[in-house]
């Protein structure tokens, strides 16, 4: 019984950054167009403390860099949203979001080419 709880925890920790990053991206884009979704805000927009917990879990359970990329995206976008709240132009903030996601996609492609699948050393959850 304890082993199955461990597997469920690992699966939840492994896929939650991608789900959060997708919800965060969708909510941010909708927010720039004036569409506010309380459901997306309730599910997706997290504080910095849960992101730190997810990063620590990623390090402790030895997940690969692909697990940390969406966490970096959420962290950078949280800083951009804070700057928007402090008075940054909405147009500039939106472009900063697009530049951030483009940079992280290019970084992921670079890491994939450089290491040629050697950076994926996630432990097998089913074992």
Task: Decide: 26 and 45 in contact? Cβ < 8 Å.
Answer: no
Structure confidence by residue, pLDDT tens digits, 13-66: 888 888 888 888 888 788 778 887 766 666 666 677 777 788 888 888 777 777
Question: What is the structure's pLDDT at 110?
Answer: 83
What angle (nearest 5°) sits at the alpha carbon of residue 103, between those of residues 56 and 18?
Answer: 45
* CB-CB neighbours of 6 under 10 Å: 11
- pLDDT score, position 45: 66
The yes-or-no verdict on residue 127 having pLDDT over 50 is: no
State the pLDDT at residue 100: 87
Domain boundaries, the chain: 2-115
Per-residue pLDDT tens over the stretch 52-100 = 788 888 888 777 777 788 888 888 888 887 787 778 787 888 888 888 8
- What confidence score (pLDDT) does residue 58 get? 82
pTM over 0.75: no
pLDDT class of 113 with cuts at 50, 70, 90? confident
Rounded to whole angstroms, the Cα distance separating 21 from 73 reads 7
Cα angle, residue 51 at apex, residues 93 and 22 outer, rounded to 5°: 55
> CA-to-CA distance for 125 and 9, rounded, in angstroms?
10
In the chain, how long is the greatest CA-to-CA distance?
A: 52
Look at residue 122 in the predicted model and tell me its pLDDT.
54
- Residue of 95, 71, 72 lying closest to 83 (CA atoms): 95
């Amino acid at each position: 019984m304890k082993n199955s709880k461990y597997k469920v925890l690992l699966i939840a920790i492994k896929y939650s950054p991608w789900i959060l990053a997708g919800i965060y991206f969708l909510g941010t884009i909708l927010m720039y167009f004036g569409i506010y979704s309380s459901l997306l805000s309730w599910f997706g927009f997290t504080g910095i403390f849960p992101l730190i917990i997810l990063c620590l879990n990623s390090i402790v359970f030895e997940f690969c860099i692909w697990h940390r990329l969406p966490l970096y995206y959420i962290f950078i976008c949280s800083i951009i949203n804070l700057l928007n709240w402090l008075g940054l132009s909405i147009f500039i903030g939106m472009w900063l979001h697009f530049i951030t996601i483009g940079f992280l996609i290019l970084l992921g492609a670079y890491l994939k080419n450089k290491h040629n699948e050697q950076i994926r050393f996630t432990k097998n959850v089913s074992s």
